[in-house]
Chain A
Amino acid sequence: MSYEIVARPHEQKFIDWSKDKPEVLVLTADLTNSCEVGRWRDIYPDRYFSMGMAEQNMLGMAAGLAREGFEPWLHTFAVFLYRRPLDQLQMSIAYPSLKVRLMGFLPGIMTPGGVTHQAIEDIAVLRAVPNMTILEVGDATEAETVHDIAHAIDGPVYIRALRGEVSRIFPKNEPFKFNTARILSTGSDITLITSGIMTEEALRAIPLLQEKGVGINHLHVSTLKPFTDPIVLKALQSAKHGVITMENHSIVGGVGSAVAEIMAENGIGVRLDRIGLKDTYAHGASQKYLMSEYGMDAKALVESISKLMKKDLGISESDLEEVRTVSVHSSAKAEAL
């Protein structure tokens, strides 16, 4: 299986989308081109504000602008939006529930920039912040259509965004839907919940697993807070052998934890295996390398299912290599920061 690769899905869509919305502003912190808003700046210079490498102030100024009725869209790397300026995010933006949009690029282990650049606990931190909405796009279609979703929310929105060359997994005519999971396959053995880039990684293994007779109820989730989608609850209730989550994030506090909470609260008594960074920092390397090193790839999914179903599925690493969906983004685009 291979997907269409879309170049810079956010860039032109955001330019077009912003055209009739004079209240939409862009604020950046020295990563304008890196976050695909260099052309936006050139087209709408009066609505663009360079804030320099000073994120605490950038979040505060965004709060002031939002109080005055503007809708600032902050563009920088995910890690710089919540780690250093968390107090500003909480007190200046989240408490008054202001319409500030935080476009966080290169979430999780997508950046070779190493530990300083890797937002591995952003979902955990921000799930605990009242009034926050957390979205994560998983493909080009979602990257192209997340803007309307965020725009409609009367409060702060943090978006795990994708840039550069992005696969189109979901049909163009099936846009991002708020708090609504996409059902990618059905089956009653295992319920698999994936988010962000992990969905594409899981899709590599699914056909092989299905060939081996494993029934997989696979959901892609893109609204991570709120996490109240009845489709998710139903899928969790139908899992015979267990539930697996896959996220480009620490297994502490992210999608895996959100799923665990729902399972516990609803008395769903099957095992849960959380695939993600196992309470560890990572380091600077390619996405593919890190996904393998930290057990976050399709192979990890196959092993997880074997464990939950207590049987050897007979799927080898070379089988998985053959179904690699694209010529692996991470090695094809060891992108400059």
Chain B
Amino acid sequence: MDLQKMQGIADGIRQRVLAHTLANNGGYMSQACSAAELLGAMYGGVLNLAPVSEPINPPFFKGVPVVGTASVKEYLTGAQFHGAKGPNFDRFIISPAHYALVVYAALIETDRLREDGLDFFNKDGSTVELIGAEHSPGFETTTGSLAQAISQAGGIAIARKIRKESGKTWVFMSDGEFQEGQTWEAFQAAAFHKLDKLRVIVDVNQGQCDGPMDSVMSIEPLVGRVKAFGWSASVVDGHDLDAITQACALETGHPHVVLCYTDPVRGLPLLNERRPVLHYLRFKSKEEQAKYELAYKEMVK
């Protein structure tokens, strides 16, 4: 595992998301800070994805799937950015769709999305949507209504088990999704059906839209809960690439979850001034924006 390469991806994610946030006066900045190493590790070597020949230009939205028409089969999913599917390759299902900006940045860093892809972010008619849907780069399910990806990934994992495929099915989740009942339904079903090639990696940033999770709805002790549901689990520092990659490599004979405890201001301590609500960064004043401009200059030095 090339940890240096992974760190480069992580640094690039923070820089790109901050640059975008500055240019557009808004962005899911704390998610970039918390998940940069996690996604850097995944896209930087943990995942066994087929390569893409060159960075893909994000297509314009061609319309929703309509039953009884060719649109259902011709509908392009964002999975193409993860390369061709194959029995030995891994799948990577993105669950927290509001991490889209962070995922797009990761795809650019790994030459899967064209560098100017973020120019289309949240633009009318573009697939590079604010909240990713299954046509958005990197996505293959529509999971803006949270906790639906884990079940769909479970179904994909059952299908792959029937076909005796060796590839793993990975799901990237946010910790807030462990407040949803469906997550636990999916966890119990994955254990019951012995989906040992199903993997979940979680950004445990302990924050959500309303603020710190322990002020909204506590999910702790998370590791105890997931283990009680029949999964094996690793708890790691979500900025320690060595720890993340080791935990991701474990073969336990069970579905395995890697809980990455993260710091939502890592790499951008200026965000501390926004506490306790870090969910979305929109500058409150020109002065504040100027401070972030400075921070960006520091970051890219």
Q: Which A residues are within 8 Å of any B CB, using their own CB?
A: 46, 49-52, 54, 56-70, 72, 87-88, 91-92, 95-97, 130-133, 153-156
Contact = CB atoms under 8 A, between A and B. Distances in A.
Interface in B58-79: 64-68, 72-73, 75
A92 B72 contact: no
B72 A52 contact: no
B148 A92 contact: yes
B170 to A, nearest CB: 13
B15 interface: no
B67 A57 contact: no
Secondary structure at the A interface, as helix, strand, loop or mixed, is: mixed
Nearest to B195: A61
Given A60-B182, A92-B151, A92-B152, A65 B143 contact: no
What class of interface size applies to chain B in its complex with A?
35 or more
Given A68-B160, A155-B72, A60 B134 contact: no
Interface stretch (B111-119, B185-193, B260-268): B185-193
B65 A57 contact: no
Contact of A67 (B64, B67, B152, B186): B152
Contacts of A156: 67
6 contacts: A54-B189, A60-B154, A61-B152, A70-B162, A97-B72, A154-B73
Secondary structure at the B interface, as helix, strand, loop or mixed, is: helix
A53 to B, nearest CB: 9
A315 to B, nearest CB: 43
B193 A67 contact: no
A58 B181 CA distance: 13
Contacts of B145: 87, 91
A97 B189 contact: no
B159 to A, nearest CB: 3
Top 8 closest A-B pairs, CB basis? Answer: A64-B155, A60-B151, A68-B159, A155-B67, A57-B185, A61-B155, A54-B185, A64-B152
Contacts of B163: 68
B142 A56 contact: no
Contacts of B181: 56
Interface in B142-169: 142-145, 148, 150-160, 162-163
B75 A96 contact: yes
Contacts of B157: 64
Contacts of B72: 96-97, 154-155
A156 B192 CA distance: 26
A296 to B, nearest CB: 31
Contacts of A69: 159
A245 B140 CA distance: 42
Nearest to A50: B192
B67 A92 contact: no
Contacts of B189: 51-52, 54, 57-58, 61
Given A57-B154, A57-B185, A154-B72, A95 B148 contact: no
B141 interface: yes
